[in-house]
């Protein structure tokens, strides 16, 4: 639906007052370009809520968050080795203190592993969205 002259002027006023997104900014769920939409709204493509007002951005594609969780993955490997040694030691010694320490270490290892899975999923989604956005921009050129 084409915008009327009045709608275009209101849109320009909103952009000048920083109420609307003035540059290409993409939905964090589907990659839709949110340019000219209000800074806090719902994506017209997928319906996800977003807020494009720094520093509290929400639901926005942020390419700088696109780093693989290598550090956390190494921490999980180290914790698994440490937890394994503690569990074997606790099994051999039957000491209550040893078992408690092993249990705490296993719990910490599991929580870090869950964090790595969440970060890996976020990384893969951001990677996929980045490719999709690049294809969309190529199509527009
Ligand atoms: Zn969307």
- The neighbour count for residue 58, using CB atoms within 10 Å, is 12
C-alpha to C-alpha distance for 116 and 109, rounded to whole angstroms: 10
> In angstroms, what is the span from residue 9 Cα to ligand 1's centroid?
26
Ordered per-residue pLDDT tens for the chain, 141 residues: 677 888 888 777 777 777 888 889 999 999 999 998 998 999 999 999 999 988 888 999 988 777 888 888 898 899 889 888 888 888 888 888 888 888 888 899 999 999 999 999 988 988 999 999 999 888 877
C-alpha to C-alpha distance for 78 and 73, rounded to whole angstroms: 9
C-alpha to C-alpha distance for 125 and 22, rounded to whole angstroms: 25
> In angstroms, what is the span from residue 34 Cα to ligand 1's centroid?
9
> In angstroms, what is the span from residue 44 Cα to ligand 1's centroid?
7
Element (H, E) at 42: strand 40-42
Tokens 């370009």, residue located = 33
Tokens 């080795």, residue located = 81
C-alpha to C-alpha distance for 109 and 58, rounded to whole angstroms: 29
> In angstroms, what is the span from residue 28 Cα to ligand 1's centroid?
7
> In angstroms, what is the span from residue 26 Cα to ligand 1's centroid?
8
């Amino acid at each position: 639906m084409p915008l009327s002259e009045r709608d275009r002027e209101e849109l320009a006023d909103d952009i000048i007052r920083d109420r609307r997104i003035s540059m290409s900014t993409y939905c964090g769920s589907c990659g839709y370009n949110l340019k000219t939409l209000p800074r806090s709204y719902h994506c017209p493509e997928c319906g996800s809520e977003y807020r494009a007002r720094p520093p509290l951005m929400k639901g926005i594609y942020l390419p700088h968050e696109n780093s693989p969780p290598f550090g956390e993955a190494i921490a999980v490997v180290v914790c698994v080795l440490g937890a394994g040694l503690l569990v074997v030691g606790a099994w051999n010694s039957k000491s209550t203190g040893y078992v408690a320490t092993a249990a705490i270490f296993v719990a910490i290892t599991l929580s870090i592993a869950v964090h790595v899975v969440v970060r890996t999923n976020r990384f893969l989604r951001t990677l996929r969205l980045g490719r999709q956005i690049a294809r969309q921009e190529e199509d527009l050129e």
